[in-house]
C-alpha cells in the first residue's frame, strides 16, 4: 500500500475549497456546487484520486441542494464512518482509496436501495468519457 499523502501534497493538488471539503471534512453550501443539478451521462470520480465512485445513472433529484446517488459504483469503493458532529447522528462517506471526505449517506432514498448518498460537488469530478482509464491521480 502506498504511503498516505500529507496535507502539503493535497494543498498543491486542490483548490482551497476542495482541500477544505475533501481533506478537512467540510461541506459546501447547498445549491452552490457544480453538480447539484447536473444529470449528464458518465461516471463520478473522486476528485483526489480518480477512483470511480458513482455512475450517473445512480444520480437522482433529491431537492436537498447536493448531488444525490442511490448506490455506489462498486461495493466497497466508499467507506462509511459514524459521525456525531453538530449534535446529529449521521454516517459519513469517504473514498476507500484515498480517504477523501465525500459527504454523508442517509436511509431516506426514493429508489429500491433506500439510500441517498449526499455528496459534495467539490469531492467528485464528472467523467463523461469513462473509458479513458480507471483511477489515476488528479482533478
Which cell goes with 5?
499523502
Mark whether 46 is an active-site residue: no
Tell me how far apart the 2 most distant CA atoms of the chain are, in Å: 42
Residue closest to 123 by CA, chosen among 51, 60, 70: 51
CA angle at 134 for the pair 127 and 66, rounded to the nearest 5°: 40
Strands 43-46 and 52-55: antiparallel
Please identify which of the residues 22, 48, 95, 118 carries the catalytic annotation: 118
* Cα-to-chain-centroid distance, residue 14: 15
The Cα 20–Cα 113 span in angstroms is: 30
Active-site residue numbers?
118
Amino acid at each position: 500500500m502506498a504511503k498516505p499523502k500529507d496535507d502539503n501534497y493535497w494543498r498543491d493538488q486542490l483548490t482551497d475549497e476542495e482541500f477544505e471539503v475533501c481533506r478537512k471534512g467540510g461541506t459546501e453550501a447547498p445549491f452552490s456546487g457544480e453538480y447539484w443539478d447536473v444529470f449528464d451521462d458518465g461516471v463520478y470520480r473522486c476528485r483526489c484520486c480518480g477512483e470511480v465512485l458513482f455512475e450517473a445513472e445512480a444520480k437522482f433529484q433529491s431537492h436537498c441542494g447536493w448531488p444525490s446517488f442511490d448506490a455506489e459504483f462498486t461495493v466497497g469503493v466508499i467507506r462509511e464512518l459514524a459521525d456525531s458532529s453538530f449534535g446529529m447522528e449521521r454516517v459519513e462517506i469517504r473514498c476507500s482509496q484515498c480517504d477523501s471526505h465525500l459527504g454523508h449517506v442517509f436511509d431516506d432514498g426514493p429508489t429500491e436501495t433506500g439510500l441517498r448518498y449526499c455528496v459534495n460537488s467539490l469531492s467528485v469530478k464528472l467523467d463523461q468519457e469513462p473509458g479513458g482509464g480507471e483511477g489515476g491521480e488528479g482533478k
